[in-house]
């Protein structure tokens, strides 16, 4: 499938413009405005305001069914350390996950399909804010995404370092893990560091608890269950000669099965309630529910695989790819609408920098393949009757 070179050149310019002007979740005002203005110039019906800065462009051609294609728009609170010409102009904010590329791919697809509408039906181009830990997908759903824009299915892609450029990874069922965060408060008794017997040390309790939580996945679950418990912050103490009153632990829990997710929460609760008591310390935990498991609909995942095989060849499609323990809030859309999420390989002649790395930059070689995949998927799902 040929994409006009002029459109690809424009897509590169869009992508690099977005990269140089990154915006955090729910603050994508400039990005949202740019997307809406471009979609309007393409002749699409444009709706703004879902989840604050979300944009939906609708392209209708015939009376066939409707589908959705989604791209995320937000950046990360990371200071860019690379030296590309389109380096971030905003201190402490950068597109370290490739959402600039996802947005450019979807914009170019909207332009291409508007010029060559070889499909019968409706395509909703969903530009989502706040994917990074802020639940923009859930908020779009709550704001009526699927009521205002009914669709048979919805799809999303993500560039994927570690997979060669021009390759696709997809699977039926779970492809990304659930995400929950937690905060544990350990309360002991403050005392002089030289006389620990006169107090109750929450730092020792915290140290034991951090290590013990790791036994949940190694000793309390079946090896066939997938879960990761990570303590990522330890906060406590003010003076070098004082055992503090409190210590705070924060971290995340990720799972690939809903029942495992609930089982691990129960086990963490037990550890927090019981282990600190040995040290005379009281433990309390608060959960902050995040994203469910990203669960692909089998028929939708198979459609992506079939389209990718026809376009790229069997050797470039990784079917039933091993799921990632990273998380994705597109899962919140898949809870309400059938669909699939897939990976588009990002490694060129040299391996891509990892996602969320301060030196990362989206590989512009992916733009053409992304537009081709979206266009071919639309043609497959919304065929023109002969």
Q: Verify that 324 and 268 share a domain, yes or no.
A: no
Cα torsion through 80, 82, 88, 90, rounded to 10: 40
Q: Verify that 222 and 352 share a domain, yes or no.
A: no
Q: Verify that 191 and 263 share a domain, yes or no.
A: yes
Instruction: For residue 311, give the CATH number of its domain.
Output: 3.40.630.10
**62 lies in some domain:** yes
* Domain boundary, last residue among 290, 321, 355: 290
Q: Is residue 207 packed enough to be buried (19+ CB in 10 Å), middle (13-18) or exposed (0-12)?
A: middle
Instruction: Print burial letters for 324-358: b (CB count within 10 Å at least 16), e (below 16).
Output: beebbbbbbbbeebbbbbbbbbbbeeeebbebebe
Q: Verify that 64 and 133 share a domain, yes or no.
A: yes
204's tokens: 């020792």
Q: How far is CA 175 from CA 93, 140, 168, 204, 366, in A?
A: 28, 22, 13, 38, 21
Domain range holding 271?
Answer: 178-290
* Domain boundary, last residue among 259, 290, 321: 290
Query: Does 255 appear as a known binding residue?
Result: no
**63 lies in some domain:** yes
State residue 231's pLDDT score: 97
**386 lies in some domain:** no
Cα-trace Rg, the chain:
23
* Domain boundary, last residue among 290, 306, 336: 290
Q: Verify that 284 and 199 share a domain, yes or no.
A: yes
Query: Does 83 appear as a known binding residue?
Result: no
| Model pTM score | 0.93
46's tokens: 């444009």
Q: Which backbone phi and psi does 156 adopt, to 5 degrees? A: -145, 150
State residue 386's pLDDT score: 63
Q: How far is CA 81 from CA 85, 87, 92, in A?
A: 12, 9, 10
Query: Does 132 appear as a known binding residue?
Result: yes
Q: Verify that 127 and 170 share a domain, yes or no.
A: yes
**87 lies in some domain:** yes
Q: How far is CA 199 from the centre of its chain?
A: 44
Q: Verify that 151 and 184 share a domain, yes or no.
A: no
Instruction: Print burial letters for 97-134: b (CB count within 10 Å at least 16), e (below 16).
Output: bbbbbbbbbbbbbbbbbbeebebebbbbbbbbbbbbbb
Instruction: For residue 237, give the CATH number of its domain.
Output: 3.30.70.360
Q: What is the pLDDT along the chain (386 residues), one digit of tens a residue?
A: 689 999 999 999 999 999 999 999 999 999 999 999 999 999 999 999 999 999 999 999 999 999 999 999 999 999 999 999 999 999 999 999 999 999 999 999 999 999 999 999 999 999 999 999 899 999 999 999 999 999 999 999 999 999 999 999 999 999 999 999 999 999 999 999 999 999 999 999 999 999 999 999 999 999 889 999 999 999 999 999 999 999 999 999 999 999 999 999 999 999 999 999 999 999 999 999 889 999 999 999 999 999 999 999 999 999 999 999 999 999 999 999 999 999 999 999 889 999 999 999 999 999 999 999 999 999 999 999 76
Q: Verify that 158 and 198 share a domain, yes or no.
A: no
Q: How far, in Å, CA of 280 to CA of 144, rounded?
A: 50
Q: Verify that 194 and 302 share a domain, yes or no.
A: no
Q: Verify that 151 and 76 share a domain, yes or no.
A: yes
State residue 6's pLDDT score: 97
Number of domains within the chain? 2
367's tokens: 């733009």
**121 lies in some domain:** yes
**Is the torsion defined by CA of 349, 351, 357, 359 positive or negative?**
negative
Query: Does 158 appear as a known binding residue?
Result: yes
CA neighbor of 287 nearest in space, from 264, 308, 260, 256: 264
Query: Does 148 appear as a known binding residue?
Result: no
The beta strands (E) that lie in 239-338 are given as 242-243, 246-255, 282-291, 294-296, 317-319, 324-327
Q: Are strands 294-296 and 54-61 parallel, antiparallel or unpaired?
A: unpaired
Q: How far is CA 102 from CA 18, 32, 160, in A?
A: 11, 14, 11
């Amino acid at each position: 499938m040929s994409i006009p070179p002029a459109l690809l050149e424009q897509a590169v310019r869009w992508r690099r413009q977005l990269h140089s002007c990154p915006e955090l979740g729910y603050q994508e005002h400039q990005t949202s405005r740019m997307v809406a203005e471009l979609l309007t110039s393409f002749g699409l019906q444009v709706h703004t305001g879902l989840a604050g800065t979300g944009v939906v462009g609708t392209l209708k051609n015939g009376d066939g069914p409707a589908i959705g294609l989604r791209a995320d728009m937000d950046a990360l609170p990371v200071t860019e350390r690379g030296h590309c010409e389109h380096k971030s102009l905003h201190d402490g904010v950068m597109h370290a996950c490739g959402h600039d590329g996802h947005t450019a791919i979807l914009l170019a697809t909207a332009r291409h399909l508007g010029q060559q509408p070889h499909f019968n039906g409706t395509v909703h181009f969903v530009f989502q804010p706040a994917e990074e830990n802020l639940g923009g997908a859930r908020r779009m759903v709550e704001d009526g995404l699927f009521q205002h824009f009914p669709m048979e299915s919805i799809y999303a892609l993500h560039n994927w370092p570690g997979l060669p450029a021009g390759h696709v990874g997809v699977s039926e069922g779970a492809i990304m893990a659930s995400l929950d965060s937690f905060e544990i408060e350990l309360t002991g008794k403050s005392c002089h560091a030289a006389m620990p017997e006169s107090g109750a040390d929450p730092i020792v309790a915290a140290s034991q608890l951090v290590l013990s939580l790791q036994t949940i996945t190694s000793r309390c679950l079946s090896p066939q269950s997938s879960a990761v418990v990570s303590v990522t912050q330890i906060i406590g103490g003010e003076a070098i000669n004082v055992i503090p009153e409190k210590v705070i632990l924060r971290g995340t829990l990720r799972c690939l099965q809903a029942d495992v997710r609930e089982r691990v929460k129960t086990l963490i609760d037990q550890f927090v309630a019981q282990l600190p008591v040995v040290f005379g310390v009281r433990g309390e935990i608060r959960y902050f529910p995040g994203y469910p498991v990203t669960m692909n609909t089998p028929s939708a995942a198979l459609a992506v695989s079939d389209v990718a095989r026809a376009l790229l060849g069997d050797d470039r499609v990784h079917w039933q790819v091993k799921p990632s323990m990273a998380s994705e809030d597109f899962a919140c859309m898949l809870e309400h609408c059938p669909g699939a999420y897939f990976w588009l390989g990002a490694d060129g002649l040299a391996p891509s920098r990892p996602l969320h790395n301060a030196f990362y930059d989206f590989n512009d070689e992916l733009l053409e393949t992304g537009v081709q995949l979206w266009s071919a998927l639309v043609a497959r799902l919304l065929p023109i009757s002969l």
